[in-house]
């Protein structure tokens, strides 16, 4: 009986460690990440596609995601923000151009091209993804209907 318990414990440890293994993230990507986000905590890595890695982590009390190319180049960082953190110029654009839409999600996306505010908006059955520059210019507007998603 003791052997059976011991074997069960060993198998449990192996199963747990296999599930908890980290993805094999290339060293140059980890190094680039650590240099850009030295205070990041609880980092989880995923391979986004063949040429891109994504790290999800916590920093300054917020949840972040950052993408790096296979050669270690930083590509994008995203993090959610509260409605109160949206700048006035961006709020004005939302109010003027997207009146009647409910704000489902707000986040900041930073790339080498700069910063944009990204929003998930909803009005009835219509869902929309919008990106607005800090000075209030709409740079992306993508409409999605719920029934289109259901027919896929």
Is residue 72 domain-shared with residue 85, that is, in the same domain?
A: no
> What φ, ψ does residue 32 adopt, rounded to 5°?
-60, -40
> What CATH number does residue 145 fall under?
3.10.450.360
Is residue 150 domain-shared with residue 125, that is, in the same domain?
A: yes
**pLDDT (tens digit per residue) in 98-149:** 999 999 999 999 999 999 999 999 999 899 999 999 999 999 999 986 554 4
Is residue 52 domain-shared with residue 67, that is, in the same domain?
A: yes
In this predicted model, which residue has the larger pLDDT, 92 or 2? 92
- Give the integer Cα–Cα distance in Å for 88 and 135: 9
* CA nearest to 70, candidates 91, 49, 88: 49
**pTM to 2 decimal places:** 0.75
Quick one: tokens of 4?
């059976």
Is residue 94 domain-shared with residue 137, that is, in the same domain?
A: yes
**pLDDT (tens digit per residue) in 23-61:** 689 999 999 999 999 999 999 999 999 999 999 999 988
| DSSP H or E segment with residue 28 | helix 27-36
- Domain containing residue 120: 81-152
Is residue 67 domain-shared with residue 126, that is, in the same domain?
A: no
């Amino acid at each position: 009986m003791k052997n059976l318990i011991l074997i069960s414990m060993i198998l449990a440890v192996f199963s747990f460690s296999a599930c908890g293994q980290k993805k094999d993230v290339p060293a140059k990507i980890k190094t680039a990440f650590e240099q850009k986000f030295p205070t990041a905590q609880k980092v989880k890595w995923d391979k986004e596609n063949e040429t891109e890695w994504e790290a999800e982590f916590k920093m300054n009390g917020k949840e972040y995601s950052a993408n790096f190319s296979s050669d270690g180049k930083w590509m994008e960082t995203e993090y959610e923000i509260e409605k109160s953190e949206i700048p006035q110029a961006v709020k004005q654009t939302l109010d003027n151009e997207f009146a009647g839409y409910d704000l489902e999600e707000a986040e900041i996306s930073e790339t080498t091209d700069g910063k944009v505010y990204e929003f998930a908006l909803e009005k009835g059955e219509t869902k929309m993804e919008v990106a607005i520059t800090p000075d209030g210019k709409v740079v992306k507007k993508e409409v999605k209907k719920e029934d289109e998603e259901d027919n896929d």
